Amino acid sequence: MTQAAALLDGQLSNLGRVVLRSGGSVSMADAALHAEREYEKFKTAQKQLRHDQADRDIAAIKAAQKDLKKPGR
């Protein structure tokens, strides 16, 4: 396994990528909490975009509806 790790580290270094030498300083729980918070922000933004698009679509339909000829009575 150490030979494979050394090969991978060499490849990453050749590509100009940083190779981490430790396990990091952020706990898995902290990382998961951060990811959940960021996803909630993303989900909220996506929901707002969908609502805005729906409002634009409804406005376009209403505008097109006004342009339609009304049947004579």
3-state secondary structure the chain: CHHHHHHHHHHHHHCCCCCCCCCCCCCHHHHHHHHHHHHHHHHHHHHHHHHHHHHHHHHHHHHHHHHCCCCCC
Is 59 a member of any domain? yes
Is 51 a member of any domain? yes
Q: What proportion of the chain, given as a percentage, has pLDDT over 90?
A: 62
Quote the pLDDT of residue 68. Answer: 86
Is 9 a member of any domain? no
Q: Mean per-residue pLDDT for 35-58?
A: 98
- Domain with 45 in it: 41-66
Is 31 a member of any domain? no
Structural domains counted in the chain: 1
pTM: predicted TM-score of the whole model, two decimal places:
0.58
User: Which of the four pLDDT bands, split at 50, 70 and 90, describes residue 24?
Assistant: confident
Is 15 a member of any domain? no
Is 60 a member of any domain? yes
Is 22 a member of any domain? no
